[in-house]
Amino acid sequence: MTLSFKPKRIPDNTNLRYWHEGTYDGYPLMVDKGPFIGQYLEKLCQTLQYALPDYARVFAFRFDFRLPCGKPLSDDAMTNQMIQRFKASLDAQISHDRERARIRNRSSHDTCVRSFG
């Protein structure tokens, strides 16, 4: 029998705890993509709970930003402005998609993107 060591805290930020389980609050996790961070899972569950009264179907996902190595980056690459630009672009793309869906089908529903961070 082999035991594998699973750290409980993130070495670079000991305020955050790893989550190694296959589910969180009854929701399945993609364990091959983990371990996850317990505090982030908690915020994600809260966001889902706020969205469920408004929508019958809710989809949650996570983005991990990866910046290219060895290439020059813009001045704001390491600031929140990059994330704000990404979210604005995502909101615009979803809004455009919903407009196109309404043209094809008048009964299509609107949506909103909720985020936490």
**Per-residue pLDDT tens over the stretch 8-39:** 888 888 899 999 999 999 989 988 887 889 99
32-46, pLDDT tens digit by residue?
887 889 999 999 899
Q: Where are the alpha helices (DSSP H) in 4-105?
A: 38-51, 80-104
Write 2-10 long-range contacts (CB < 8 A, 24+).
6/35, 10/37
pTM of structure: 0.69
Buried b (16+ CB within 10 A) or exposed e, 79-106: eeeeeeeeeeeeeeeeeeeeeeeeeeee
Give the angle 49-26-114 at the CA atoms, nearest 5°: 30
